[in-house]
Amino acid sequence: MASGNRIAIVGVTGAVGQTTLQILEQRKFPVSELRAYASARSVGKTIRFKGETIPVEVVSEDSFKGIDFAFFSAGSEQSKKYAPHAVKAGAIVIDKSSAFRMNAEVPLIVPEINGGAARDHKGIIACPNCTTIVTVMPLKPLHDVGRLKRVVATSFQAVSGAGVNGVAELREQTIAWTKGEPIKSKFFQHQIAFNVIPHIDKFVEGGYTGEEIKLVNEVRKILAIPDLPITPTTVRVPVFTAHSISVNAETESKISASEARAAFERFPGLRVYDDPAQNRYPMPIIVEGQDDCYVGRIREDISCANALNFWVVGDQLRKGAALNGVQIAELLI
């Protein structure tokens, strides 16, 4: 490999790990060495990167000697167990799990919004939840223009957000339906094919779910508005890739739909896709595989003088996870 940074990817065989590989190559990130780590069940597998075949190894406490950046996408338990060892070895950890997001000493970064805070790290930088990233991208320019006062967010989340098992279940149930066979639910709590499930993660106090509380806490931390009122609902839908969020944002000063559209158009990482007369609005089938978050259905709230409604869609495997992590590393080099 060419000169550059020594990279480790933990969870390399998962959807986010694989997407991280693609993005590192697509963006020509300078990599001199790449180490691929996963669990014991992946031993014997290989991955391809820049024309080279790299064996997948079992991650251990001693895996990070000489590593510059360690991307973690293997879940909270793996991050908690191995990230401190990576930091001790001198690596900068970019973690995509929920393990460190709300740790006061760990910056929670969306580069377009608070990238400068990444430099205040103490070895670990956290990526937000994928739904949080897609939601907060259009909230930032609105806050800059009119100061956010209250947010209502309802997400419609693709099955790939639940990993390979979620994708397999939707595919298997759809095939079973076309054949007239019984539909079995093994992974999700209910049938996901031709259905929506208003329940992601475990229920917590007050009837909310963990996924919903993540959205509240993480948006507040990223925007540095610790008391911002946010009310969330998260829903699983029978879509393979890309999360969609319906947002109602109330601001202290009035923002017209045209002013909001202009603010969105100026903001890096957002693409306005909004032409109702031509039935143009963001949809997962359009946004899948794209780096930008698409925003449309921009309209003023007819029930509240200083509020807007809009619809935003982002590929949760790219901007919602892998791309955001690579962008953080780009900031630091």
Query: 272 pairs with which residues across the strands?
Result: 295
- In the DSSP assignment, the letter for residue 183 is P
Rounded alpha-carbon distances, angstroms, from residue 311 to 152, 209, 211, 305: 12, 22, 19, 19
DSSP 72-140: E-S-HHHHHHHHHHHHHTTPEEEE-SSSSTT-TTS-B--HHHHGGGGGG-SSEEEPPPHHHHHHHHHHH
Q: Which of 85, 121, 143, 243 is catalytic?
A: 243
CA distance 285 to 112: 24
CA distance 333 to 331: 6
Evaluated on CA atoms 78, 80, 83, 85, the torsion sign reads: negative
Q: Which of 130, 143, 293, 304 is catalytic?
A: 130
Quick check: is 243 catalytic? Answer: yes
Burial class of residue 22, CB neighbours in 10 A (0-12, 13-18, 19+): middle
Evaluated on CA atoms 308, 313, 318, 322, the torsion sign reads: positive
Nearest to 327 by CA among 289, 292, 282, 286: 292
Tokens read off for 106: 């760990």
Element (H, E) at 17: helix 15-26
CA distance 318 to 290: 7
Nearest to 162 by CA among 233, 243, 101: 243
Give catalytic residues, as residue numbers. 130, 243
